[in-house]
Amino acid sequence: NRVKHLRGNSGTGNGQNYIQVRGGNISSSGTWNKQGLDYVITGDITVRHSSYANDGSRLTTLTIEPGVEIRFETGTGLYIGKPHPTYSWVGYWGALSVQGTVNNPVIFTSNAASPGPADWKGIYFHNWTGDSQSRLQHCVIEYGGHTHNANIYLADAKPAIQYNTIRNSSHSGIYVNGTGSSGTTVQCNNFKENHYGVYVVNNATPVIQNNNFLGNQQAGVYNGGTPALDVQNNWWGDISGPNNDSDHTYGNVSAAPWLTAPSDCIASPPANEPPHIPTDPLPLDNAVRVPVSDDHQPVPVSLSWTARDPNPWDAIVYDVYFGTVQGALTLVAEDLESNFIDVSDLAAGTTHYWQVIAKDDAGAQTPGPIWQFTSMGSLPDLVLSDVTQDPPGALEAGMSVNFTARVANNGTGPVVDPFQITFKIDDIPIGTHQIDQVIQGDASFQVSQPWTAQGGDHLFKISIDSLQAVAELNEDNNSFTDNLAVAALSDETGPVIVAEQLNGSSLADGNLLFEDGMFTMNLEDLSEIYWVEYWLGGVRIKKDFNQATFLECQLDITGLDDGNHNLTVEAYDEHFNSTTVSYTIVVNQPPPFDCFKECID
């Protein structure tokens, strides 16, 4: 991560004149700049965000400037993106943006004294690559193939690969693996003296056009997949096309028509990309108490930001919009060359909005987000008013009640600090609301809180900013209290017993019991159930203090004579209202086994 901070270095007379990068993770976006020293890689480098995601919303991008030369020690490589070690559906996203020029290509090569194929691992793009942010243009990539058999390996990734010379791999110039790489642009490249120019497996279908295949030993294009691979308009080293005195193709490959002379688009200028979205605003987005005066004299506010362009040679200028209405900003600077500007004569205690449009010299532009800050002003004054309840009349226990209040800022300065609004019944909170937004002077809003009424006399209270997080003109108008009388629920009837069942079947007089059984029922009542008693054959078999509305009782018929027996249930609610029901149960126990056997004999 620290390499991006190196600029303008050169060296002579040292043991080794280069910038050594010892390997590791690049987890924050940055640029490797052209300097008077090459970069030498002595360990694997992985470009990946520090946090995992299932999309590219968290992305780290490494940008490399034109003219940079990167040399890799034996067995080292460059990896873009990284899979999660446990979860296959998320990963650590990375991107590589390299745009050299015809006269200043970026070089990826071996650091060996006598370089050769398979010296280093090449550039490996994982599935967790930001495809639209990744490109290799006007590069020389050579002597790879260690471990991954390629100078460039695409594992379900599809960066744009254009205007490069890709040569001297021990296996493939580009190894394309998986349908996630389908649509990869492989265009206007020289593939020279690899075993295979482009090696395609697992049904990938990259777009391969206007390339020169020159002296690749086994094949210019190898298709190990089933779908046909269209590779029209390429130069194969001979006017008669591939598979003659030229590079060959293998597998389901359609090469006609082909170029009858070498492609010259490799010398094309690199594609222009729009600037990146402006970031890092100062004042910070949503900043508060930003000074606009000093000793009663106005002072300007300095706005600044960061912006980059994926094309290092592009010059960026900025349009700046500013105002106090988010949807109606005014242009205050056009084609500004610096990334800062002062704005003056700003109103105190006001929220100001601003936006930066980044433009490059090719005409592409990228709007930034709308940022905001609130200037320092006079003290606010929070006031609580218009407290209502719904329903407005007399309350009865069990009713759903909704309290509503209006909170206003009657001061001239804005409320910029978060605060709480608390609703209480008998000093016990029934709801707390966190207020985080800026509240301008003379602004107001409503807040509501539901409550299920409970019988009795209560003290109702609403408090705003009870923790005094907001410095304001008057702290005495921040609360409201009232007395609430809630009538007790009128209940003079006992519980209703429904859905009685014996062993899972509806219970009625005359049910037979051949053995112990399970009695169940449901209870309905305006109040809480207090207890239930069960009697069988005149004997209480259970007293259940249970507030549940579904109850059950095991009926033990041991010791009961065959014949009719009464099952009686008495249910009481919290007001001691009771209900009694009785059922006739017919006990018919089978004879003992010995008797049953004797009768059979």
Tell me if 79 is assigned to some domain.
yes
Q: Residue 560 — pLDDT band, cuts 50, 70, 90? A: confident
Q: Is the pLDDT of residue 164 over 80?
A: yes
Q: Which of 375, 406, 436 is the last residue of a domain?
A: 375
Contact between residue 384 and residue 449 where contact means Cβ atoms under 8 Å apart: no
Q: Are residues 300 and 400 in the same domain?
A: no
Tell me if 598 is assigned to some domain.
no
Q: pLDDT (tens digit, 9 = 90+) per residue, 97-125?
A: 999 999 999 999 999 999 999 999 999 99
Q: Are residues 298 and 370 in the same domain?
A: yes
Tell me if 255 is assigned to some domain.
yes
Q: Is the pLDDT of residue 74 over 90?
A: yes
Q: 550-555 and 69-72 as β-strands: parallel, antiparallel, unpaired?
A: unpaired
Q: What is the pLDDT of residue 134?
A: 96
Residue 290, Cβ density class (10 Å: 0-12 exposed, 13-18 middle, ≥19 buried): middle
DSSP, res 279: E
Q: Which of 458, 487, 516 is the last residue of a domain?
A: 487
Q: pLDDT (tens digit, 9 = 90+) per residue, 244-299?
A: 889 999 999 999 999 999 999 988 777 788 898 999 999 999 999 999 988 888 99
Q: Are residues 129 and 172 in the same domain?
A: yes
Q: Are residues 360 and 400 in the same domain?
A: no
Q: Is the pLDDT of residue 60 over 60?
A: yes
Tell me if 354 is assigned to some domain.
yes
Between CA 306 and CA 395 the distance in angstroms is 60
Q: pLDDT (tens digit, 9 = 90+) per residue, 177-209?
A: 999 999 999 999 999 999 999 999 999 999 999
Tell me if 344 is assigned to some domain.
yes
Q: How many domains does the chain have?
A: 4
Q: Residue 516 — pLDDT band, cuts 50, 70, 90? A: confident
Q: pLDDT (tens digit, 9 = 90+) per residue, 321-373?
A: 999 999 999 999 999 999 999 999 999 999 999 999 999 988 999 999 999 99
Q: What is the mean pLDDT of residues 485-505?
A: 83
Q: Is the pLDDT of residue 596 over 60?
A: no
Tell me if 68 is assigned to some domain.
no
Residue 323, Cβ density class (10 Å: 0-12 exposed, 13-18 middle, ≥19 buried): middle
Tell me if 301 is assigned to some domain.
yes
Q: pLDDT (tens digit, 9 = 90+) per residue, 45-57?
A: 999 999 999 998 9
Q: Identify the CATH number of the domain in which residue 458 sits.
A: 2.60.40.10
Tell me if 70 is assigned to some domain.
no
The domain of 534 spans: 496-587
Contact between residue 365 and residue 325 where contact means Cβ atoms under 8 Å apart: no
Q: Are residues 286 and 324 in the same domain?
A: yes
Q: Is the pLDDT of residue 169 over 70?
A: yes
Q: pLDDT (tens digit, 9 = 90+) per residue, 393-408?
A: 888 888 899 999 999 9
Structural tokens at position 186: 């492989």
Between CA 249 and CA 255 the distance in angstroms is 8
pTM over 0.85: no
Q: What is the pLDDT of residue 574?
A: 76
